[in-house]
Structure 1
Amino acid sequence: MHNRVDNIIKKFVNRYSISYNIQTKWKQPLVAYANARDNMFLDLKEIISPSHALPQDFLPDAETVITYFIPFDDAIVKSNIEGRECSKLWAVAYIETNQLISDLNIFVKDELKELGYDATNIPATHNFDKKKLISDWSHRHVAVIAGLGKFGLNNMLITDKGCCGRVGSIVTNLKIEPTERNNIEYCLYKHQNICKKCVDRCVNDALKIDYFNRNRCYEMCLYNDKKHPDIGLSDVCGKCLVGVPCSLGNPTKGR
């Protein structure tokens, strides 16, 4: 069944730019699956917040959490390397990919319904506490549980296709075999104590080796939003994601 769900997600993303005549282009998504009863979901209530949801909060009979990473086209990544402010191409990609995730989740939910199963439609972003800046459902943490990737020093998800893209997730009562997790770090700093380029790339002094200031990070995201008032809510930055070894791939693979 996982092959069928993989194909549903990949075909939808491949057709999306053409179907909706939008600017953003994406590479083929990566998809992974977690057992909705995995004990690591309980750990998120300690790691993130006591209010962090469990899969069963969305569906009492939840069996699987589907997670996916949608990588940005290389041109989008390169456009955001120079300067302090995020590029307009990156900001547009953020907005259009959030909409893609919303539309994709609805589509997957409808497809699963035809097969006799239920699923959720969880938004890509803006489901967080505006004061604490903590999410009640972290797509990135859920993706790690599913084996989709690992966290980098920059707190972003690094996958086999890098970290420049967006993560989405779906809770369903369809039982799908979980993706195998590995114990190898994808971040060069965590793997071999080298690199740290994402720290150097942070433009608002929010990211340190041993500390992350959420407020300073979000302050820069809101600054960028004001710089692009004509495209919708673009509270995004991405400077620590681009121009680094993990931007487009897993730099520890084969090491």
Structure 2
Amino acid sequence: MQKRLEAYIKGFVKDYPNIKGTITKWGEPLITFCDANNREFEKLKKVVTPEHSMPRDFLPDAKTIIAYFLPFEEAVIKSNIKGIESSKEWGVAYIETNKLIYDLNSYIFNIIKELGYEATIIPATHNFDEKKLVSQWSHRHVAYIAGLGKFGLNNMLITEKGCCGRVGSIVTSLKIETTGFHNEEYCIYKVNGGCKKCVKACVNGSLQIDSFNRHKCYEMCLYNDNNLGDIGVADVCGKCTVGMPCSTKIPTR
């Protein structure tokens, strides 16, 4: 079943630009599976927020978490390197990828339902506490537990295809074989204290080596949303992810 679902997800993403006529294109997704009863999920109530949902909050009979990473094509990444403001291509990629995640989750939801099991359709974003600016279901943290990647100094999930892309996840009652979890760090700074390019790239100082001001970061995201207002809701920045050693790969390997 693991291989079948991987094929479904990869095929859907590959065909999506032609079917939907999107401007954005994506690389082949990375997909991992983990046990929904993994005790690591309980830690998210301390690491993220006490209100963070557990898999069983979505499905009482939750068995598996499917986590995936949708890497942006190189043109999208390069478009956002220069300047202080986010590029239009980056903003469009954010919007179109959020829609892709919803459509993909709906597609997998229907496949799993046809097999006689339950699944969820969780939005890619904007499911967060607007005062605390923390998500009640952090796709990145869930994906970390599922072995999809490791957190970098920039607070992004570094996967085998880097951190420039979007993460999605699905909760299901279908039991699926789990994938492994790697203990090695992927961030150069966390390995030897080097790099720190993401801190230098932060346009308003919200990201520091020893701290992160999420409200200040979000101010920049809202600024870009206003600047890119004609394309839809694009509260993005991404400067700490583009042009980095970890943008498209694991830099420590």
The TM-score range, normalised by the shorter chain, is: over 0.9
Which residue matches 1:106?
106
Which residue matches 1:79?
79
Shift of 1:58: 0.2
For 1:184 and 1:92, the matched residues in 2 are separated by 33
Deviation per CA, 1:9-44: give whole Å up to 9, x if none.
110000000001110010000000110000000010
CA RMSD in angstroms, aligned pairs only = 0.5
Please list every run of 5 or more consecutive structure 1 residues that lacks an aligned counterpart in the other structure. Answer: none
Deviation per CA, 1:52-109: give whole Å up to 9, x if none.
0000000000000000000000000000000000000000000000000000000000
Shift of 1:115: 1.0
Which residue matches 2:237?
237
For 1:3 and 1:204, the matched residues in 2 are separated by 43
Give 2:113's aligned amino acid: K
Alignment identity in percent?
Answer: 62
Shift of 1:218: 0.3
Matched, 1:142 2:142: yes
Deviation per CA, 1:111-146: give whole Å up to 9, x if none.
111111110000000000001001000000000100
Matched, 1:115 2:115: yes
Alignment of 1:122-141 (within 5 A): 122-141=122-141
Tell me, what secondary structure is at the counterpart of 2:230? coil
For 1:198 and 1:22, the matched residues in 2 are separated by 29
Matched, 1:219 2:195: no
Which residue matches 2:192?
192
For 1:71 and 1:133, the matched residues in 2 are separated by 24
For 2:53 and 2:246, the matched residues in 1 are separated by 29
For 1:131 and 1:140, the matched residues in 2 are separated by 20
For 1:196 and 1:162, the matched residues in 2 are separated by 16
For 2:57 and 2:123, the matched residues in 1 are separated by 15
Which residue matches 1:247?
247
Shift of 1:192: 1.7
Matched, 1:178 2:185: no
Which residue matches 1:64?
64
Which residue matches 1:151?
151
For 1:157 and 1:99, the matched residues in 2 are separated by 20
Which residue matches 2:165?
165
Find runs of 4+ consecutive structure 1 residues off by over 4 angstroms. Answer: none
Matched, 1:228 2:228: yes
Give 2:205's aligned amino acid: D
